[in-house]
Amino acid sequence: MTGPDRGYRSGMPLTRTLDDSTVVITGASSGIGTATAYALARRGTAVVLAARSEPALRQVAQRCRELGGRALAVPTDVTDLESVQQLADRAVGEFGRIDAWVNNAAVSAVGLFDEIPVAEFRRVLEVNLLGTVHGIKAALPYLGAAGGGVLINNASVLAEVAMPYQSAYNAAKHGIRGLADTVRQELRVTGRGQISVCTVLPATIDTPFFRHAANHSGRELVPPPPVYPPEVVAETIVRLLRRPRREAYAGGAARLIGLQWRLAPALVERTLGWYLHRTQFGPGARLDSTGNVFHADGQASRSGGWHGRRRQLVRMTAAFGLAAAGTAVGTMAMNRRSRSDR
């Protein structure tokens, strides 16, 4: 298999079983973070939940305890390094160590690049990219002290491909992927290979993300199908804790699009842009909104209520995939034939 899922291992797995481990999760007040917390709680893990919305965090923590896990809610602003370091300290103070850290907090500002206010663009980078930087800096000393562990960055398939109207988000996610690769190299060459660094590349996920994003498009935002439930990403994260890999896709569409992008990047860039231009906007008009870029609005909800779009346009998506892959193969064959005729 080619691409990120060919998966030579990133390093060592957790040094303890999940029911004896402590995992910190940022962006835990909704969506993928909440689903991951629940997936780990069912396995008896101690989860440390971080986000800006304290009421939502407390709801998630209570549900984690009901599912059989241990939980600590720590209101945290990931753009503030001191706040993130306090999160790490609180985790160790409560449970004795940190075995894994999941950088998941993210926001987005949707619209044409030249219509997104610079302040919002900067804030998206601060939350998504610098928030991950702060998480890694806070986690590494404690992971080393625990004898090793796993660091997981949720980067989205948009760390590999691009999507129109999401310039700030794309830039941040591409940055996260490059950052993870560099930190992984540095850990190896400095003898700290017992700490694994993994990157998750999810497809479109059914979370509140699209309802909460800043919107400067003038239109209703909807997730481009196919849309996968957040549990798909949560289970991918659990698998990475047990068997770390450099990178792992979550959702078959992400794997397909990533493969196409590598085979024929120019073609897929055009085709994907056309597809997403037509599928990420609904029929309703919307006034400009800053969404949750500056203000917390987590509601302890895993789902965004997009269930009906999970199967919409599946045939169209499949056709797009076959066409792009077929064209790429044809292009390579033509190039080979052209070279042989010279």
Other CB atoms within a 10 A radius of the CB of residue 226 amount to 19
Query: For this structure, is 8 an active site residue?
Result: no
Which candidate, 92, 103, 45, places its Cα nearest to that of 71?
45
Is the CB of residue 47 less than 8 Å from the CB of residue 23? Answer: yes
Coarse DSSP helix, strand, coil percentages of the chain, rounded to the nearest 5 percent: 50, 15, 30
**CB contact set of 68 (below 8 Å; sequence gap of 6+):** 41, 42, 43, 44
Catalytic residue among 38, 169, 249, 275: 169
How far is 166 from 173, CA to CA, in rounded Å?
Answer: 11
How far is 298 from 324, CA to CA, in rounded Å?
Answer: 38
Which candidate, 282, 277, 224, places its Cα nearest to that of 253?
224
The H or E element spanning position 198 is strand 195-202
What one-character-per-residue DSSP string does 28-93 give? Answer: TTSHHHHHHHHHHHTTT-EEEEEES-HHHHHHHHHHHHHTT-EEEEEE--TT-HHHHHHHHHHHHH
Point out the residues that are catalytic: 169
